[in-house]
Amino acid sequence: MYAYLPRDGKWQLYMFDLDWLMLVSTLYSSEFGPKTAPLFNSDDPTVSRMYAHPPFVRAYWRTVQDAINGPFDPAVCEPLMDAKYRNLLENGVGWCDGSALTSPTPVKAWFRDRRAFLQSQLATVTVPFSVSPSVTVSNGLGVLTGKAPVQVNTLAINGQPWQVRWTSVTNWMALVPLQPGTNIFSVVGLDTQGQPLSGASNVVTAAYDGVVPSPADAVVINEILYNPPLPRAEFVELFNTSTTHGFDLSGWEIDGLDYTFPAGAYISPRGFLVLARDRVAFDMAYGPGVLVFDQYNGNLRAERNTERSATRAGIRPAACCGPGAL
């Protein structure tokens, strides 16, 4: 399997002989039968890291469920097998791989066995949707936690799709802004089509008596690299100068980047946040050790138009250095 990232596009997989869900090869191992073949088997370190990353694992489980409800459903696959078998007979095909052609009955049995196994495995990560009624406070932001079944693709908080951190296959955590007084948070689980899932909603409240400091003069543009060593490796780095407060960046914009921060984006105390024009070019130029928050669509130009950043909270550039940097 190979992966390719087209410019300004999504990752594409070039797959060959790929049978993660099927994964039956008893000649390879007696454990690779339809009722036992594992779903998370890999000798590749990159794939193993993917299996250890909860958002990827959740997407994988959603694909398993789609297979159970779609091509593995006997009502879907068995009529197709029968039709193909009849077509072969009607066209005089009586042999396959050196053996006499037989009915698809054994294949149907295999599909049914594999489907039952997949259902049993999916049950191990099936949990009811829940939101903890306890909202804690960390660095001036509220911390919401809860559980969500894998059918939930996105969480919406107060009507906005929110950036959350999946701490396990089913557990999530989200940071939310707090205002003095009573804060109400409506949390809804959305499917892959952005539609609310039945039973996946809850409302929690949090009373906050703390101070909400202004992010003006606290969140600054720390560095702008508009003339990178490699094409498309430009970046902008933000820095939070506060030692005690994180800031919600939801809806913030930076002129010249054509970029708006998604709901749920935040910057921690004394934290850095990097926006890159191209993740791959950034990694090639500076190495993979710096985490890129996101890509932007605009262009940094030598006339330093990004210094005129106008955001919801008034981000301003701070001193920075380096060739091709501001």
| Per-residue pLDDT in tens (0 to 9) along the chain, 326 residues | 677 778 777 878 776 655 555 555 555 566 778 888 888 888 888 889 989 999 999 999 999 999 999 999 999 999 999 999 999 999 999 888 888 999 999 999 989 999 999 999 999 999 999 999 999 999 999 999 999 999 999 999 999 999 999 999 999 999 999 999 999 999 999 999 999 999 999 999 999 999 889 898 899 999 999 899 999 999 999 999 999 999 999 999 987 788 999 999 999 999 999 999 999 899 999 998 899 999 998 887 644 544 444 344 345 434 333 444 44
Would you call 99 exposed, middle or buried from its count of C-beta atoms within 10 A (0-12, 13-18, 19+)? exposed
- In order of their start, the domains of the chain are 2-123 (no CATH), 130-208 (2.60.40.10), 219-317 (no CATH)
**Which helix (H) or strand (E) covers residue 75, if one does?**
helix 74-90
16 phi and psi angles, rounded to 5 deg: -140, 140
Q: Which pLDDT does position 38 carry in this prediction?
A: 85
For residues 257 and 275, the answer to whether their CB atoms sit within 8 Å is: yes
For the chain, the distance separating the N- and C-terminal CA atoms, rounded to the nearest angstrom, is: 42
Residue 326 pLDDT: 42
**What pLDDT was estimated at residue 322?**
40
pLDDT value for 26? 56
Longest dimension (CA), the chain: 82
* Structure confidence by residue, pLDDT tens digits, 78-137: 999 999 999 999 999 988 888 899 999 999 998 999 999 999 999 999 999 999 999 999
| Residue partners of 47: CB distance under 8 A and separation at least 6 | none
